[in-house]
A and B are shown apart, each in its own frame.
Chain A
Amino acid sequence: MESLNREPDLRVRIGPLVLPNPVGVASGTFGYGQEYQDLVDIDALGALYTKAVSIDPKSGNRPPRLVETPSGLINSIGLANPGLPAFLDEKIPYLQSLGCPVVVNVVGETESEYTTIVEAIEKRIGVPREGMKGPVDGYELNLSCPNVEKGGMAFGTEPELVERITRKVRKITRRALVVKLSPNVTDIAQIALAAEAGKADAVSCINTVVGMAIDVKTCKPLIARGIGGLSGPAIRPIGVACVWKVARAVRIPVIGLGGIGCANDALEYLLAGASAIQVGTAIFSNPRAPLEILEGVKTWMRERGVEKLKDIPSLFRFPS
């Protein structure tokens, strides 16, 4: 293998959107960006996937909301967010100032809430112009949150519903449309195919894995709601397997996430078939992780003479 002298081509196409590099920050771990602006060069990220936006403000679940488990974190935040009107008025101006692509994570309790939110954002920001970065460059439909009663995962487990919601949202936006998939299903590839049939530009997988931890002293669960969503290194092998299955099933790009903390973790996902990745829980322990991962992926590519990021999946040596 020949090493590469020039900078590798890291661009990733997600429908109409070109990400400058494959490393994004996962929804729910980075707020709407502002919280990390002192610590991270946000403009250098491949993409920022925002905290979920719902129509009404959500105060979230009662605490405790977090517990660390071996190599993992169980959270039960409950999609706490300021709601659509506050997002439009207070968050959009800040997102406009960012140099990286912004993908807004959208969550609804009913099918129509997904379209209402996307419609309202589209109305506020207008039609995308060629080559212009808007305050919002795409949407990630959260059809897979395990921490709310209604919506979220309830939609993400039914292929017909996933296809229908995706199709409805597709009709109201020309921006990139990503569907986030849950691993808490029998066959994740079926759900991915449904998103593709609904004309999604990409799927992202995986959302958190349903988990529970119990305090044997108090005989109570360690988070107030009992079950929550497990993230972190503990779920990485699940995520890699899901990406591998999904990437074989669909033709649209797959965005891999779940327990990525270093460049090698990201490369596992890329070899398994991911076109891009997201870093989540690792940001909590090291806000520099996403950009360190980006550097590590570049180094790996240079050392192996890989010119283009999109060539990485073809290097996976495994009969398919």
Chain B
Amino acid sequence: MSAVATIPVPKLDRPGPSPDNADKKPMMRQFNAPVVFNQAVSQGWKLLAFSWPEGLTPPIPGQFFTFNPQGLQAGEAGLLRRPLAFAFFGRGLAFALYQIRGKATQALAAFAEGGSLDLIAPLGNSFPQPLADEQVFLAGGGIGIGPLLYLRSSFHGVEAAGAGAPTLPSRAGKLFLGFRSASQVPSFTLAAERWEKQNQDANGAARHPKPYRQSVLAGLADLQHCLDQAFIATDDGSKGFKGTVVDALLQDSAQTAPIATATRIYACGPAPMLSALDALALERGSPAHLSAEQWMACGVGACQGCVLPARAGGYLRACADGPVFPQGAILWKA
């Protein structure tokens, strides 16, 4: 097999799940997580950060956790846990972006920093890392941008470099993020400033430092750094490209055509968006990894409640077979 030596062997950027070992799941645990940050980042969106238990495998991009909407009674939609995707992990803190939509997210939004939240994590499979010679497209729609920010940060060791890291090479992946309007686009910098002000007394002097202050601020800076690299699309055109994130991606790739290198698509967002990207990936022969959102009861694969129709027939569980599915696996409800 001497011919093999002449073919460049694709290498993984860094150790982590590859397309081959994405199914190996670390152990999950139920634990009480101290909430260190729970602040607004845009209109109706908040960012949560909590400290990660020692000895538990950190989450990887694409994975999620479920939280118990404490403070809600069963009679007011407090019966089931709710799933949220990880938006970042670094320096012992896990971050999640969420939109205040119903009673459970209202309860989470009202949850005070310093309290402990009942969580089960890490859950689900993950985005496989790209191969070194691939052109990578990442697309996030609405609150689905969270896992894409985390994935993007994982490509480059943002955690180590922090804000102000050198400009990333193009193969780092083009990140396309879609929002309803500009008011939805998060600002992690403003959130950090507001949070810091809460830490000062009337004279501007610093009070007792918040726990994990440096780690929170560094995480926010890393998130902002990723967001700043993104190509923004808004439905109403109030910021960036006017149109959907799929339109933005199509327009960009038309400009850079012909695509000489192999491409790989990653996405999380509403079903019509995933459906369009699934079809696009098929057309181009690109591998794609699409993360689904679905109502869940158990979140661990037992109840079969969160299924999506599989193209091959039958159903797949969003929680345990996903949430990340390869191109062609799901019949998306467009």
Binding site for B on A (CB under 8 A): 28-31, 35-36, 38-39, 51, 59-60, 62-68, 70-73, 75, 77, 80, 232-233, 261, 281, 283-288
Contacts and interface: CB of A to CB of B under 8 A. Distances in A.
Contacts of A75: 297, 303, 305
A66 B320 contact: no
Contacts of B73: 71
24 contacts: A29-B302, A31-B302, A35-B302, A36-B302, A38-B29, A39-B30, A39-B300, A60-B315, A63-B294, A63-B309, A66-B303, A67-B295, A68-B77, A68-B80, A70-B74, A75-B305, A80-B304, A232-B79, A233-B75, A261-B74, A284-B299, A286-B68, A286-B118, A287-B300
Interface string B53-92: 0000000000000001000011111011100000000000
A65 B302 CA distance: 14
Contacts, number: 101
B327 to A, nearest CB: 21
A73 B28 CA distance: 24
B79 A71 contact: yes
Contacts of A67: 295
A39 B29 contact: yes
A169 B296 CA distance: 35
Contacts of A287: 30, 120, 300
B216 interface: no
Contacts of A66: 295-297, 303, 305-306
Given A35-B301, A39-B30, A63 B79 contact: no
Contacts of B306: 63, 65-66
A28 B298 CA distance: 11
- Count class of interface residues, chain B: 35 or more
Given A71-B75, A233-B74, A233-B79, A63 B308 contact: yes
B74 to A, nearest CB: 4
A70 B302 contact: no
B258 interface: no
A35 B75 contact: no
A31 B96 CA distance: 28
Contacts of A284: 79-81, 297-299, 303
A30 B302 contact: yes
Contact of A35 (B80, B81, B300): B300
- Closest 3 pairs (CB-CB, A-B): A59-B314, A31-B302, A35-B302
Interface string B241-255: 000000000000000
A36 B80 contact: no
Nearest to A63: B307
A286 B320 CA distance: 18
A281 B307 CA distance: 18
B38 to A, nearest CB: 21
Contact of A36 (B75, B77, B296, B300): B300
Given A38-B27, A80-B315, A287-B30, A232 B304 contact: no
